[in-house]
Structure 1
Amino acid sequence: MEKVSARSGLSALFVGLFAATLGACSGETGRELSEHSQGFTAASTYTASSNQKAIESLPQRDTTDHEAANRGFIGTFEGEKAIIRNKQGDLIWDLNEYTFIDGASPDSTHPGLWRQAGLNNLHGLFEVTDRIFQVRGFDLANMTIIQGDTGLIIVDPLTSEETAEAALALVREHLGDVPVVAVIFTHSHIDHFAGAWGVINRDDYDAGKVRVIAPIGFMDEATSENIIAGTAMARRASFMYGRRLAKGPHGHVGSGLGKSPAYGTFGIATPTEIIDTTGQRLNIDGLDFVFQNAPGSEAPAELTFGIPELAAYCGAEIATRTMHNLYTLRGTKVRDALKWSAYIDEIIDLSADSDVYFASHHWPVWGRTEIVDYLELHRDTYKFIHDQTVRLLNNGFTSREIAERLQLPPELAQTFSNRGYYGTLKHNSKAVYQYYMGWYDANPANLDPLPPEKAASRYVALAGGADALLEKARAAFDEGSYRWTAEILNHLVFDEPDNESAKTLLAETYDQMGYQAESGPWRDVYLSGAYELRHGAPEEPLMDMSTLLGILQQTPVEKFFQTMSVRLNAEDAEGVERRIAIVFTDLNESYLLTVKNSVLHVHKDASLDHAESTLRVTRELFTRLLIGEVGVTEMLTSDALELEGSTIQLVRFLSLFETPNSEFNIVVP
């Protein structure tokens, strides 16, 4: 048997494999950026006036949020302890990074978002109720700690091992050095499970001393959500979370849902118990838990639970202190607003005996009347967006027209916890339209429009040339018509991407639009667009794949082959037929990969007799190949990889697949 290094070919195929889930945690950190190096313009008089008017329009109810967000505070880390690093000394999280959020909102930040960012900046250990605590501000999400009879039950151990470990250290500093006996993953998004090994002792887990509880479908969704389009979603997520922006009043101030995600070491623990039925009960370390199975709500796999003995209910991420996303700006499948609303309605009944409601983000709600009011407002908001969008689309309105027309009634709008700090009414209504009607608005002009670059050149010519269009754009900018300025300048930049005057003015326009945005993601998208007009797209890969090793090793190998299918270069594969086999020697699994008609098919446990080449490899080595962790010398001497058949045919097979461009342009062609 011939040994061969397939490192370069295989690892190139899987760059960005989990980028969609981790895109928020990837890319340039922005931690060494100052606002000066980021580049920005001051808030215009129009922006300052708009934000001043927004202060007057903010809700007059829910004025106790600051008291609630501070309630139960026990302590936090200060000084050197406030800076969380990985084993290599790299900065993962700095609790002091958002100290600029203080006092009245500046002209360059929407007052609603500034208020929300200040509340989200309250960090440390908080008591929720008897035996229930939360660590907030150590990551995008909260980590909840429940005291069982013999140890700690951890709910949602954050995004990275480093932040989860630091959060647990804070807990033990105040509550004592007791073991973790169980972990609950409420849902399949990475900021709720990837820090698992920061709180779970591996020896205890292997010995069956730590229970891991998750909703049905968790492992599949957690390791594969958006795997097909991961590269594109990662690039877009860097805009949504402002990864390249400096943190400051002219840059990133928060996501609305929390701060930003932590990027560090990501892992996953395989659940030992699954929740698949609403009403399912488990006794966990002496406490009875009653679960709700809520798939297809905020996440494809999600659970909530009540603890009757403690009169407490955990709503996961189904109802938090912001309007959420029916569609996320990084790109995902649209969520079902009607189903989401129904789950919240069910929680109202399930939580009937609860005096406190807590979630995976933000601060709790205390008092039965307050809980019901809070949940009803969220329930009715999602149903209102659904019902009224459908009403208007049935009257012939398009998604853009509906987004411009739709307004929440005062009963739903006049509460801080329901405002669009994360999701927005505009893009959520478009999501409902897309859910039912798709991309086409029925106008024949929009059935087969020109692509952006071709349309751009025609628009520029129609305006009388670049100089004339730029003059019109400056006039619109000076009038404070920033949406129109952006629309016409976008055509000029796509026609003349080297036109520095156009790019500069468009960047200044995006600055103003970002400053006026109440949604954290909208602000970050606009300011990221401005950043890249000034500095260009990133030159480095979005992600260090080695940080994903813990998750990749738990991912079904079929998922890797799915992403191969969408990286086959159809032009290169015209008229080509290939049959390659991959055998995982430690899993006792074999796969036949065939290319024909410019399509890749994968067949598990098929006959390998006619394969041109057969690659025999262990799962561990295959995973390390994918992330480029294995060196050539190690590969050539490894007994864990062998090749039967033609080396040339294997190389030709691999050459049919392209490495996607994970740093593609967004604001220029």
Structure 2
Amino acid sequence: MAEQVKRELIPNEEFVKHSDIFNKKEVIKVTDNIYAAIGFALGNSIMGFLEKGVALPEVWSHHKLPNEVASFFTTSYGAKVRRSSRQFGVMVPASRKINAGLGLDVHIHHIPGETSDQIGVWIPSWKAFLSGDDVYKAFPNIYTIRGAPARDPVDWYTSVQKMLDLDPDYLVPSHHRPLIGKNDIRNVLIPYRDGIQFVHDQALRFINKGLTPDEIAKRVKLPEKLEKHPYLREFYGTVPWSWRPSRPFPLSTPEKASRVIALAGGVNNVISEAIKAWNKDDIQWALELASYVLIQDKNNKDAKKLKVDALNLLGSRQINSIAANYFITCALETEGIVNLEDESTRKNEWQIIQKLPLKQLFQIFSTMFTPEVGVCETTEGVVQFIFSDTNSFMVLRIRNGVAIIEENGKAKNADVTVKTTEAKLKEAFITRLDGKGDYTKVLDIDGGIVKFKNYMNCFEEDFQLLLP
């Protein structure tokens, strides 16, 4: 047996330096009557010490707070306690731990993000916003490995957008040092907001393409500009989380298939083992092995036959009609008898587009953006759409690898302006899906067709508003 090489445990240097931010305990005066306590951990927000006889202060929370607390301490409580203990390093030895107004006009904002009950405090006269747990100097924990409910990324980046819209002079997060100055705040909030939207949009884009969770985790990479931003370093959350210790950063399905085949000694050995599994009525294992071969060689006839047979057999054995339909349809797809991307399915898309409200149609842009194509990751631009029949406006803003939609927005300095009607725009989408002709005739484009095409080339081909 091969001898295992010993490797020294060396803490990540960048992570150690990041922890230094919190090592110094201090109370920072942000502006008059606003203070931030740094280095006192969670006790800052949940503990208070009062002299005997002093009236207890009121504690304000969002109405969802009781449900958030109850859900943690009831359903799957045991699993959450174990996984929380791992996440927060409860059992990690100390030697190895690296980090662990009366009369004032105050506006309370619901800003779901880290939790759905999150609230922020806006003090208009001071232009100060207290952002709770929604902004960290680290990539946010959209999914926690401890088992808390997954955070809704759309809610989260929408909450950050609310902060941007308020245009504060002071931003006071609960878990980090305050930020002072409009420009400094915007330089943090814009990439932070866009980073969350990027992960959501690209994950959904690849889900719609049929990729597996492991494949998506490999494919979704923050654009370099965001990945290197100090407020998006992955000290807290990461893009490819999984709670299992062996799977926080899983291999993609093609990588895994390649290694399984190599471990077995080649494709023929894998097929041989798959046939043995089939003969022993271990149909699921036969299906998985055949699938590994087809990932590496999609035209392998032996593997394809075995996969089709396994899918059909598993389908026939199901008591659940949904499962049966799923297995059998997959078998038909593998044989090439059924194509879920053919003309008949496209007709359904046309009908949907015709009936979709304009806002929902534009929202599809977000999950069709292709940052990996050409220079799209670094492309920036603003397209203003004006609809003469409804006197409405839409803005498509491209930056940081995301497409941002602003309903009824009016861009001051749009790079391209498209004038049309809602009906003509929908016709343009349908024409594009149909693969017929150039329909610049129905779009009045100001700012240059070439520039508009360059923007459209950053979207999935089926969703581009102009033919290349």
TM-score by length of 2: 0.44
TM-score by length of 1: 0.32
Point out which structure has higher relative CO (alpha carbons under 8 A, 6+ apart). 1
